[in-house]
Structure 1
Amino acid sequence: MNVEGATISDELPYQETRDIVLPNQTENFYAQQIGGSLAKVVYFSRKPDSSKGGRLNFTKFETERIDECIDFIENLVSSRHSQVPKLREKIVVKATGGGAHKYFDKFTEKLKNVTIEKEDEMECLITGLNFLIAEIPYEVFTYSENDPMCFEDTLSSNMFPCILVNIGSGVSILKVTSPDKFERISGTSEETGIFHFIDQRVTQFDVCVSEMLEMSQRGDNTNVDMLVGDIYGSDYNKIGLKSTTIASSMGKVFKKNERQDGAIKALFLRHEGYLGAVGAFLKHRTRHRACSFSEILTFPQMITEGSVNAYGILESTPTKLVVFPKLHDLTNYNPDTAMLTDSVSQHYWIDVLEDNLQSLVELAIKWNSNGDDQKQDVQTRASTFDTLFRSHLTRLRDHPTMYGALTIRNLLNLREQCLHEIGFPDIFAKVKAGENKTALRDLKDLLEKVDSVQDVEGKIEFLIDNMLAGNMFDWGSSQTLEMLRKGELTFEAARKKIRKPEHLNKLRLFTERITSRAKPKLKKAVIFVDNSGADIVLGVIPFARFLISMDMDVILAANSFPAVNDVTFDELLEIMTEVSEMDTLLGIAWTNKKLSVMATGSSSPCLDLRRINDDLAEACKDVDFVLLEGMGRAIHTNYNARFSCDSLKIAVFKSTATALEFGVRLHDAMILYEEGS
């Protein structure tokens, strides 16, 4: 069931809540799926700092206690009315599942002034399925012997046709051939009832469904499943079966053989259980879904104790996120260069983030305390952030795939999410402002040096060297953090530290392309920028100015929201306003919109090119040159990305481990140019 306009109930156990944040929800609306065993409820609560938008909260009740579910919804409705006494909006409860019919009269009798609308269960399931696999990266996973949880990144793949097996009190099997075409092809009555019977026979415990499901997460299937080793005493090598392969599910209970069928891969959803309720909610909200969603995993209490699989809040984005139009092959695109699948790499990156945590906490306190009256509050929040993020790292060290696929991108995103949730939306705001101011003072002299270089080849190399030097100013790098804290890193010192290994230096190819008279001139570029200060001001902007001098239009694409010391869209607008008054060429381009700034839709130091602000994607349909700048955007992610237009990936290796993986040293540079596919 879905209920809108409600507040979060303090009576709910945190581990039973799962939230989705919506930006423009104003009606009073709720949804639920009522099955034979469980009733899943989705209800809306407003954000305390906003008149619009909020979160969808998820909880569940045993159907045999349906009165508790009705009372819960009644309290939500009453709470909403108490918050908005003159509430005139229609309160709607969308209900699906068999219980929507069975308990319809009970709901209408108890919930006065509420409209109950029934929705088809199968349609809601498909709607919920489509939403989750299209919006949430690594939502889908499978099990294998060597890799207990193997994740499928459905954002880059076509999931249809597929068979959806909906396991509840009974089982429905649906053949789904497209997002809106499906048919029920089979089903069975043997699910929760027989599971409950078997559980009682095996454990001798008389427990409820919720307790039974929680116990199953801690159980050992070898106690009940008959394995190949139980039959043969070892592997069955002739047909390639290992001794741990299940030969008969529940075979040790009923001693009944079961044939193996490995032709179809069984996939599971991390947000399983709420497909129908989410689908019911979306049935009401279809016309308002001009936004996308991202998963937020911040609070430990959202994870059931002992679980090895978790899922979190689905937070709305202000705009719709779409695929970057210049990706050559979406099907084979994976933003993450390295999947941390082995224990060595997993523990290395978890250790790096943990080792860097104390410095981050100190910086948060230093830069966010305005006087003694605020210092105590900042210290308290910083301590809370420290405890929160460490708890995540501890959990991931034990169960690396607990939150989905473990990647550098996801680890960095988790850290940013924790900072924002604790009340540090931009801990580097002050240092970014100071570095921008310092860099802007040096820009005019640098541009004069650029203009003094007469030959184009020499000018391009000088500009690229400046961009690499600027990229060293990265507060997110543990290797440069201490130098930045002590003020030991200057722009000239950064230039001297950088080396260019031959196998990663394609500067000559780029220079030949720019100066070639045999090929069409490049007309429009988009530059995905990285850090504030010297990086954007002394590195990227002079290079963009050069492209403009070559009669190209240039888009500077910056993060929509803060992440480490990355420059944001709003900050870059301020920088460009000042720069346009400082330099004639840039000023004319800015006025004539040959030079523009756009938001990527991202709040991450990394970049997923499947999830780009739709306005930026539209503006990039005719670009013929893409530049990815910085380690997060060009090395940790998108190193393997291929484009239908020309591209340049440029960054400095500021992580020893990452440098070793690429066969280079710390502070080596990468300048990769590729012609469009």
Structure 2
Amino acid sequence: MDNLSAFQHLSDSHCLAFSIGYQTSSVTFYCKFEPKDLLNACNVLPKFKKGRIYSLKFATSELNAVLPILSKFINKSCSRETQVILTGEAARENVSNIQETLKNSLILRDYSLCLVTGFFLFLKNIRDERMTIDFLDHPKYVFVNPCVSYDQYLLVSWNGKINYFSVKSETEFEKIGHSFFDSDYLLGIARGLLDVENFDELLKLAKLSKSYIKLIYSGYEYPAEVELLKENRNILDSLDDRSYSGDRSEVAWNLLWTWLNNIGQLAAMYANLHHIDKVVFVEGSSNDSLCNDILDISFRFWSQNSSKPLFLRHEGYLSSIGALMKNLALVQQKDFNYSWEENFFLGTGMFGKEISFSGTKFMQMVLDSVGTTLTCCPLLADPETYSPDLQNIYVKDEYRAYWVRCMEGNTIKSTERMLNDTCDNIVKAMVSHYSQQMLSRLQLLKDIPFVFGNLSMRIILDTVDQCSKELGLIGIYQKIKTSESRLALGLFLERVNTLDKLPAPERHQELVTSVLIGNLFDWGSTEASALISSGKFGYKEAADTLPSRPWLYDDLDKWIERMDGPPHKKALIFVDNLGFDLIIGVLPFARELLIRGTKIILCSNREPVLNDVTHSELTKVMKQVASISTVFNEALTAGNLVLMEMSKSSCCVDLGFIDTQIAEACKDVDLLVIDGMGRGVHTNLNASFNVDSLFLSVVKDTWFASTLGGQWLSPICKYTPAM
């Protein structure tokens, strides 16, 4: 489909950044993206336009095929010349070729500057970017928390030329060494001995050797080799038993091993010599995991296992993105300096399936501007150990199989619902395409569960949301949200008047119960949506359906006891669904806190996700509620109730990346309240905070509830005092 091709957006970009290496290269550009609205929901939804970065990685041998494609698209724009930036180890050798084909002048940028700039951009913005490797264990890839930092890095670039950079910050770095045994020497030997033309041919030949099969296949990926590997865990000692047999594949293997071992040995030497904390291998000659496995083994051996080297999921994109970031015209654009988030739907991910265009194969990485600057939530007790996700379904095969199967069923049902709701043939075609794309993407996540880091429900749900936005299917729950909100507003006054008549302990219990009842109205849950769509499930039926105590997590008594104490100064509340959940659940709860003298921040998504409330919808609802509630009217007027939007919109919440404005408003917060299954169960349930926290949700999936020790519709009321 054209709308999934990066090249169609190229004519809107006025800057193109190349990084040309001797083996692999990448090209990156920036554009603006605004989702189409095929369902005509934007008359009630906030319009949003994002900055976007596309980066395409390809074999340098394909450069002559790539340049005409780029020329075709960039020359569509006649308003002004496209600026072309060039960096990389092999940049100067390709200046005339690029200049003649694109018919543009070039700006050369220092490779080390671009590499370091791109390196820190990924470290600051992307979760699970860094990883260590152990191919004998499961998981093979262990991802490093983004909040963990080191005083100094040794970056190892081995895309043809072998260079070592000492890096302390984005502005403080230097090249401290290199190896003369670069890819030119390697391929010169390989051509003479083996008659191979390039690195990929050498790699393919090496993988035919018995040594490769014996020593490198990981037990997780290749179960048949597990016992063989267990018999001899000392990898390097076993290498001494090999001898030259005249087999071309064995010669290729030994040559490849020697070359990569030299890179790893020098990395260990430079790290020791300069007392550097962490070694990171970046921008290599191949995308194949075999090379990283050998580099890992080599470095650990020569460093005597003093530390594990780091690798990056996006290692081949760093310098071209860094070159783009140094473009002065783009830097002046407001959203170019904001934080970025990874697009799981459009990106090919780590070792994912290549995309093909005009016969040329690419790996693709896409970053979307968040529209503001993100930072770590100051309420986290220990940011360096914080992981948002409850279940790591990369590691747990059973969990992954279930959730992928569940989401496949969800995709099919939501597709049927959308097809039944429209007579427009264009919309029908796009809905069918949505189904195909999502099922394909779910299969990718099942087959390669580390493709975007530690696979989790957060990644799966964000992928679904990104797919629907990309294909113009935003606001699919808008009619449902509007209808349910109208019903809930009609019940609001009656509900709060009933609550006001209750004595304190009973009132606090009813307030919590109301939030749990409201949380049953969740169209993102397959089992809950089946209940709601029956047409016979209103607030009364939901109240009758909620299980009696004791609940799965039942800290209600502790919460009631806390409410007998002094009021909290300020509460930060993450809201969930629009309708009964918000209006009959969260708002009466928030009203009680306001009456006690607690200031409140209500946080909601900027963009539509499932039936979650957006900031614009919350603003509208609060005006309506304030017109009938003195408490809310006075709180809004006095600034004791503030509505804030989360720019990184999701049905989950990663507290490692929240809006700076929200983080600053947290300075005097002493109560965190999280409503909903996505924000409070799939994510953050096991997180620790330096303030009181209250999690309110209902687990609306039978299998998921069973893994937590509960059953279908298991309520969660988890109250934890400040750490």
Q: TM-score range by the shorter chain?
A: 0.7 to 0.9
Is residue 2:529 matched to residue 1:478?
A: no
Q: How does 1:139-538 map to 2 (within 5 A)?
A: 139-144=129-134, 145-147=136-138, 149-193=140-184, 196=187, 206=196, 219=207, 222-224=210-212, 227=215, 241-242=232-233, 247-248=238-239, 252-253=250-251, 254=254, 260-261=301-302, 262-284=305-327, 285-286=330-331, 288=333, 289-299=336-346, 303-305=352-354, 312-340=365-393, 341-367=395-421, 369=422, 372=423, 374=424, 376-453=425-502, 455-496=503-544, 497-501=546-550, 504-517=553-566, 521-538=567-584
1:640 maps to a residue whose letter is N
1:224 positional shift: 4.2
The verdict on how the C-alpha distance between 1:99 and 1:554 changes in structure 2, with shifts beyond 3 A counting, is same
In the other structure, the counterpart of 1:57 is: 54
> What residue identity is the alignment partner of 2:341?
S
CA distance in 2, matches of 1:648, 1:201: 69
2:50 touches 2:370 (CA, 8 Å); kept in 1?
no
> Is 1:128 paired with 2:118?
yes
Partners of 1:540 and 1:357 in 2: how far apart? 29
Indicate the residue corresponding to 2:610 in structure 1.
564
1:94 to 73, 79, 85: 85
Distance in 1 of aligned mates of 2:50 and 2:535:
42
**C-alpha contact 1:432 1:565 (8 A) present in aligned 2:** yes
Check 1:610–1:65 CA distance in 2 against 1; reply closer, same or farther (3 A cut).
closer
Which residue of the partner structure matches residue 540 of structure 1?
Answer: 586
Q: Give the secondary-structure state (helix, strand or coil) at the position aligned to 2:163.
A: strand
For the structure 1 residues 649 and 45, does the alpha-carbon distance in structure 2 shift closer, same or farther, using more than 3 Å as the test?
closer
Q: For the residues of structure 2 that align with 1:586 and 1:522, how far apart are their CA atoms?
A: 18
2:686 to 640, 643, 661: 640
Secondary structure in structure 2 of the residue aligned to 1:400? coil
The residue type paired with residue 227 of structure 1 is L
- Summarize deviations over 1:581-622 as a string: whole Å, max 9, x none: 111222222222222221122321111012212222222222
Separation in structure 2 between the aligned mates of residue 349 and residue 625 of structure 1, nearest angstrom? 32
- Between the aligned partners of 1:228 and 1:343, the Cα distance in structure 2 is 22
SS at match of 1:382: helix
In the TM superposition, residue 300 of structure 1 has moved relative to its aligned partner by: 8.4
Q: Does 1:118 align with 2:167?
A: no
The alpha-carbon distance between structure 1 residues 189 and 320, as it changes in their structure 2 partners (threshold 3 A), is same
- Which residue does 1:608 correspond to in 2? 654
Pair 57,440 (structure 1): closer, same or farther in 2 beyond 3 Å: same
Contact (CA 8 Å) 1:569, 1:598: kept in 2 or not? Answer: yes
Q: TM-score, normalised by structure 1?
A: 0.84
Residues 56 and 363, structure 2, Cα contact 8 Å, conserved in 1: no
Any conservation in 1 of the 2:12–2:31 contact (CA below 8 Å)? no
Identical residues among aligned pairs (%): 27
> Which residue identity does 1:489 align to in structure 2?
F
CA displacement, residues 452-501 of structure 1 (integer Å, 9 cap, x when unaligned):
11x21111111111111001111111221211110232323322322333
CA contact 1:522–1:552 (8 Å) conserved in 2: yes
Shift of 1:547: 0.5
Q: C-alpha distance in 1, partners of 2:397/2:102?
A: 53
Distance 1:236 1:561 in 2: 49
> SS of 1:510's equivalent?
helix
User: Contact 1:173/1:186 (CA < 8 Å) preserved in 2?
Assistant: yes
Deviates more, 1:607-616 or 1:501-510: 501-510
Instruction: Letter of the 2:405 partner, please give it.
Output: D
Distance 1:413 1:649 in 2: 21
Query: Which range moved further: 121-130 or 610-619?
Result: 610-619
**Equivalence for 2:221:** none
Deviations 1:429-460 (A, max 9, x none): 1101111111111111111101111x211111
CA distance in structure 2 between the aligned counterparts of 1:560 and 1:124, rounded to whole angstroms: 32
SS at match of 2:76: helix
User: Deviation string for 1:306-353 (max 9, x for gaps)?
Assistant: 99x976311111222222222221101110011011211110111111
Work out whether residues 499 and 510 of structure 2, in 8 Å CA contact, stay in contact via their aligned partners in 1.
Answer: yes
- Contact 2:348/2:364 (8 A) holds in 1: no
CA shift, 1:128, in A, is 0.7
Aligned to 1:34: 20
With over 3 angstroms needed to count, the CA separation of the structure-2 counterparts of 1:435 and 1:212, relative to structure 1, is farther
Aligned AA (1:379): K
In 2, the alpha carbon distance for the partners of 1:100 and 1:300 equals: 26
Q: Secondary structure at the match of 2:146?
A: helix
Shift, 1:627, TM fit:
0.3
Shift of 1:296: 1.2
> What is the Cα deviation at residue 141 of structure 1?
3.0
The answer to whether the 8 A contact 1:31-1:278 is kept is yes
| Cα distance change, pair 27–476 in 1 and its aligned pair in 2 (3 A) | closer
Counterpart-to-counterpart distance in 1, 2:209 and 2:123? 29
The runs of 5 or more residues in structure 2 that have no matched partner are 37-47, 218-225, 244-249, 262-297, 357-361
Relative contact order: is structure 1 or structure 2 higher (C-alpha 8 Å, sep ≥ 6)?
2
Task: Tell me how far apart the structure 1 counterparts of residues 508 and 164 of structure 2 sit (CA, whole Å).
Answer: 61
Q: Residues of 1 paired with 2:119 and 2:192: CA distance?
A: 34
Q: Distance in 2 between matches of 1:228 and 1:274?
A: 26
Aligned pairs, number: 638
User: What SS class does the counterpart of residue 155 from structure 1 fall into?
Assistant: coil
Q: Distance in 1 between matches of 2:712 and 2:631?
A: 36
- State the superposition RMSD in angstroms: 3.7
Cα displacement string for residues 241-275 of structure 1 (whole angstroms, at most 9, x for unaligned residues): 42777844997424998773443323222222221
Amino acid at match of 1:605: C
TM-score, with normalisation over the residues of structure 2? Answer: 0.79
Q: AA paired with 1:588?
A: E
Alpha-carbon displacement from aligned partner over 1:542-599 (angstroms, at most 9, x marks no partner): 0111111001111111111122111111111111111111112222222222222211
Deviation, structure 1 residue 643: 1.7
Amino acid of the structure 2 residue aligned with 1:488: K
C-alpha displacement at 1:417, in angstroms? 1.4
Alpha-carbon contact 1:475-1:565 (below 8 Å) kept = yes
In the alignment, which of 700, 709, 717 is matched to residue 654 of structure 1? 700
